[in-house]
Amino acid sequence: MASAGRQVPVYEERLMMKKRIACCLSGRGSNFKAILESVKAEEIRGEIVLVVSDNPEAKGLSFARMNGIRSEAIVREKGEPRPEYFERIIKRLEECTVDLICLAGFMKVLSGNIVSRYRNRIINIHPALLPSFPGEEAQRQAVEYGVKVSGCTVHFVDEGVDTGPIILQETVPVLDGDTEEILAARILKKEHELFPRAVKLFCSDRLTVEGRYVRVEDSG
Select 31 or 111, whichever has its Cβ closest to ligand GRF: 31
Least CB distance to ligand GRF at residue 82 (A):
19
Nearest to 123 by CA among 41, 189, 191, 72: 191
Select 24 or 49, whichever has its Cβ closest to ligand GRF.
Answer: 24
Inter-residue contact 200 to 161 (CB < 8 Å)? no
CB nearest ligand GRF: which residue? 105
Known active-site residue 155: no
- Which is it for strands 122-126 and 149-156: parallel, antiparallel or unpaired? antiparallel
Omega of the bond leading into 131 within 30 degrees of 0 (cis): yes
Within 10 A of 191 (CB to CB), how many other CB atoms are there? Answer: 24
Q: In 3D, which of 199, 191, 157, 168 has the Cα closest to residue 19?
A: 199
Nearer to ligand GRF, 27 or 164 (CB): 27
* Footprint of ligand GRF (CB under 6 A): 25, 27-31, 60, 104-105, 125-127, 188, 191
Q: How far is the CB of 210 from ligand GRF (least distance, A)?
A: 25
Contacts 24+ apart (CB under 8 A), 168-172: 168/194, 168/197, 168/198, 168/201, 168/216, 169/129, 169/130, 169/194, 170/194, 171/129
Could you give phi then psi for residue 122, rounded to 5 degrees? -115, 125
Residue 204 burial by CB count (10 A; 0-12/13-18/19+): exposed, middle or buried?
Answer: middle
Q: Are 211 and 202 in contact (CB under 8 A)?
A: no
Which residue's CB is nearer to ligand GRF, number 87 or number 180? 180
Phi/psi of residue 84, each to 5°?
-70, -40
Active-site option among 19, 33, 126, 192: 126
Looking at beta carbons only, is 29 or 196 nearer to ligand GRF? Answer: 29
We find the least distance from the C-beta atom of residue 217 to ligand GRF, in angstroms, to be 25
Give min distance, CB of 139 to ligand GRF, in A.
Answer: 8
| Nearest-approach distance from CB 7 to ligand GRF, in angstroms | 43
Catalytic residues: 126
